[in-house]
Amino acid sequence: MASERLSSILSHLSPAKSGVAAITTKNPDDVVITLAIRTPLAKSGKGGFKDTPLDYLVYSLLKRVLEKSRIDPQLIEDICMGNVSNAKAAYIVRAASLGAGFPVTTGGSSVNRFCSSGLKAVQDIANQISMGSIDVGLAIGAESMTEGGDRLEKPFHDEIIQNSEANDCMQPMGQTSENVGRDFNISREAQDKYAAESYQRAERAQKAGWFDEEIVPISTILKDPKTGEENRVSITRDEGPRYGTTFESLNKIRPAFPQFGDKSTGGNSSQVTDGAAAILLMKRSKAIELNQPILAKFVGATVAGLAPRIMGIGPTIAIPKLLSKFNLNLETDIDIIEINEAFASMAVYCLNTLQIDHAKMNVRGGAIALGHPLGATGARQIVTGLSECRRQKKKILLTSMCIGTGQGMAGLFVNEQL
């Protein structure tokens, strides 16, 4: 602890660092991640969590957090859950935490910024720690898409939709994908080729066991759809990867949104999925005091807005904004990149526009192959990205996602398990 404090004092006396040197400096007040785990991702409506309500999924993950971290739950002061589709999310996280063994003194809240909700929860907890509001906090992202989606039940007020961009906020996500494909000339061929690569990467990663360290098995009840018989099962692996997927097989699939265009399909769009992820955060000094393993440093996150009708390209707005804040270069400074694959249209656009080395991006596949549980993805990307950083012994992780209604968000992390 004394050496950490001395390092902090010396850093203030020495010339200011910038870029990678600045973000990799270790100080006692750094916000760090000491645990990053997730559930398997299961097919919505027919997979391993089809009979698992959101409250039980969250409860089960919270129990695994306490088991894996071995931290005294009395020390965790707040839990923030990213969730999109469930209006009762704040009730759920509070009740599930109490049931899982957290004390009444541990707070609970929910946040919803659509597909970035998991990252938003991490940002919320990190900011509280940084400001001294709490010492230890837990961020989770969780979604049961089996239980329902996030579609608008009725149009906005007439006066609101007189503004064309406000009106565009009502466009279905499939329509925005077709807008991106059409506006930026991203062909069906390019989208299917990208999707095939995502499936092949996920298959390779799953067969090699790369996901094993990031996934915690979940015990739950599964009903036989024919007999109604209930059986307790343990869900241990992602259900999304389709082994043997090729460009040729994807190219045969019919368009999913023919009323809007002919490029996005069920094969090159993200899967509808149930799942959850958890990130435990605290200051570096607290982690050392508690003898908690320091997996990574949270550097920062930001959000940016853009036209709702092309919401998919959000990462191309958010990523440069975030990197500029830390004087970082995407090509030379970033080692591993996780960008959500809401649709291949947006993934291809981001890859090309930002001139990303594809070898760095979604190394284990993305949401097209693994699934996209809306509120969980922002946290899931951190879990997967840090695991990949450890595997490759790389340092700098960047995560980003597009956000419905026209936004993008990005997060930056330093892996410390080299």
Whether pLDDT at 7 is above 60: no
Whether pLDDT at 217 is above 60: yes
Active site residue ranges: 115, 372, 402
pLDDT band for position 355 (cuts 50, 70, 90): very high
Q: Over the stretch 151-172, which tens digit does the pLDDT of each residue have?
A: 788 899 999 999 999 999 999 9
Radius of gyration of the chain (CA): 21
Check if the beta carbon of residue 397 is closer than 8 Å to that of residue 412: yes
Q: What is the mean pLDDT of the chain?
A: 96
pLDDT band for position 246 (cuts 50, 70, 90): very high
Closest CA to 247 of 295, 289, 199, 279: 199
SS3 (DSSP) at 307? coil
Instruction: Calculate mean pLDDT across residues 361-382.
Output: 98
Determine the pLDDT at residue 25. 98
SS3 (DSSP) at 121? helix
Determine the pLDDT at residue 3. 57
pLDDT band for position 5 (cuts 50, 70, 90): low
Determine the pLDDT at residue 10. 47
Determine the pLDDT at residue 13. 47
Check if the beta carbon of residue 399 is closer than 8 Å to that of residue 277: no
Encoded amino acid at 401, one letter = M
- What is the CB-side half-sphere exposure of residue 407 using CA atoms within 13 A? 16
Encoded amino acid at 151, one letter = R
What Å distances lie between residue 64 and 48, 364, 409, CA to CA?
18, 24, 28
pLDDT band for position 236 (cuts 50, 70, 90): very high
Which helix (DSSP H) or strand (DSSP E) does residue 317 occupy? helix 315-325
Determine the pLDDT at residue 115. 97
Q: pTM of the full predicted structure?
A: 0.96
CB atoms within 10 A of CB 74: 11
Whether pLDDT at 175 is above 70: yes
What Å distances lie between residue 80 and 128, 157, 255, 279, 295, CA to CA?
11, 31, 37, 10, 20
Whether pLDDT at 9 is above 90: no
CB atoms within 10 A of CB 259: 9
Determine the pLDDT at residue 18. 81
Q: Over the stretch 37-92, which tens digit does the pLDDT of each residue have?
A: 999 999 999 999 999 999 999 999 999 999 999 999 999 999 999 999 999 999 99
Determine the pLDDT at residue 16. 63
